[in-house]
Amino acid sequence: MNTDSKTNAAVGYKFDRRFHDRDALLVQMDSYAHPTNNPQSIENEEKSNREELPKELALNLREEVTVEGFLDPLRRRYAHQPVFLQAVEEMAKSVTPLFEDEVNGEFYKRAFLVMTEPERTISFRVLWQDDRGDMKCNRGWRVEFNSALGPFKGGLRFHPTVTEGVLKFLGFEQVFKNALTGLPMGGAKGGSDFDPKGKSDGEIRRFCEAFMNELVKHIGGNTDIPAGDIGVGEREIGYLFGQYKKLSNDNDGTLTGKPLILGGSLLRPEATGYGAVYMAQIAVEREGGTLKGKRCAVSGSGNVAQYAAKKLIDLGAKVITMSDSNGTLVFKNGMTLEEWNTVVEIKQKKRGRLSSLKLCDQNTEYIANHSPWKLRDLKLDYAFPCATQNEINGTSMDRLIDNGLVGVFEGANLPTTLAGQKHLREKKILYIPGKACNAGGVSVSGFEMSQNAMHLIWTNEEVDAKLKETMQAIYNQIDNVKEGGECTLEEGANRAGFLKVALAMKKLGWIW
């Protein structure tokens, strides 16, 4: 980089001549803002408030700030956290053009720089006892990323692949996802490298209690509200909430995703999958198309995948795949409601594998050791990746496009690699990223918080109507930004979330 060597050594960013003390930007505060939900209004407010910005920010940019130039120092610092760096790079590709704004470019640089660092990262050991009486030790984390828009909000993941870097990636994405919902929620993520597979109910309960013994010190209804994620479903949330009640003597809505009898919300298990399909329906119909009769490939078989498949069936689409870590079920003529019920029974009640499904007709085939995206002859219209991060790479995306793919709607968090995203852009494939497409889950978590606060339970119809309204509002936000800046829906989602968080941080005095 062509910058002064002393400046580089001190701060590492070529535009850091005006940053001076990077750590001074990371001010921790307890209050939170509730800015307008309309990104167009946000942009207008930014324009009207330009005079309010400190004079040193209102400078014409003398140099173009590239994505690579911004990322290089982060790559050196977090080389051991590749998936977090991937999430930042994906966001940076959309946001760095804003740095060229003649008036607010420097402000946007500072804002994005601060947003790449969590407010705090909490790590702890979790000691628990297995069924043989042996002591076990796992690691636990809570990454409280950004609370500008409200209390920290985000799920807990129990999986052996969980690391601090994975949780930083998830927390970073959660900040902008929550911003798009229009609800007063900041972003966070937590979890443990504990593996629930093969564990007895007693072992899972004891682990959840031990995990909460540490987490309870850092959460609360107005501070940090965890929810579920991979490996943490309604059962685990119930155990976590039970231990929280014992330790805190409080019955507030500090956890969401609770069983209905404990104050949970109707449609919470369905919300992420339903919301992803509602978003797809809105986007496809905006393009003049329909989901009815279209071949839709779904990956995964957890809550998100199950209910995405159910809603697709309800809308008349043909669900042609579901999968788990052992292989893929292919439904040649589309999944029937009876077959869907069988999959749900295997996964929710028996906690089994899709390979245990008894295939009794010509419609269904099980292919071991392959995800849907690795199948060479899978003819499809739309892809709904609902399993995990980085499940569709560039090679798989090319194959899917050759096989008829016209749209990708992410039910999982960052399921498409950067190479896969590049192919989508080059081929102009309809694509809505996870931070917009799978925001239905956290939206209904927000509804659960509201119901807990009011001591009410909304009906299925009320929650579903609010979920549809929220997904429509999210689409409108990203489409408005797209139209205003001639960018893609992906870029619109990233910029809309970024602008909202940046404005809140400015109003709080966290960036100057």
Catalytic residue ranges: 189
Binding residues for NAD(+): 272, 303
* Amino acid sitting at position 71: L
| Alpha-carbon span 238 to 227, nearest angstrom | 11
Task: Please answer whether residues 26 and 119 qualify as being in contact, where contact means their C-beta atoms are separated by less than 8 angstroms.
Answer: yes
Task: Please answer whether residues 373 and 299 qualify as being in contact, where contact means their C-beta atoms are separated by less than 8 angstroms.
Answer: yes
Extended strands (E) in 73-227: 120-129, 135-146, 152-158, 187-192, 224-227
DSSP annotation string for 446-489: HHHHHHHHHT----HHHHHHHHHHHHHHHHHHHHHHHHHHT--H
Q: Which residues of 371-407 are buried (b: 16+ CB within 10 A; e: fewer)?
A: bbbbbeebebbbbbbbbbbbbbbbebbbbbbebebbb
Task: Please answer whether residues 364 and 334 qualify as being in contact, where contact means their C-beta atoms are separated by less than 8 angstroms.
Answer: no
Phi, psi of 416, deg, nearest 5: -105, 125
Contacts of 57 (CB under 8 A, 6+ apart): 104, 106, 107, 110, 512
Strand 295-299 vs strand 318-324: parallel, antiparallel, or unpaired? Answer: parallel
Dihedral sign, Cα of residue 246, residue 250, residue 254, residue 258: positive
Dihedral sign, Cα of residue 497, residue 499, residue 502, residue 508: negative
Question: 366: part of which helix (H) or strand (E)?
Answer: strand 364-368
Binding residues: 153, 174, 177, 228, 272, 303, 445
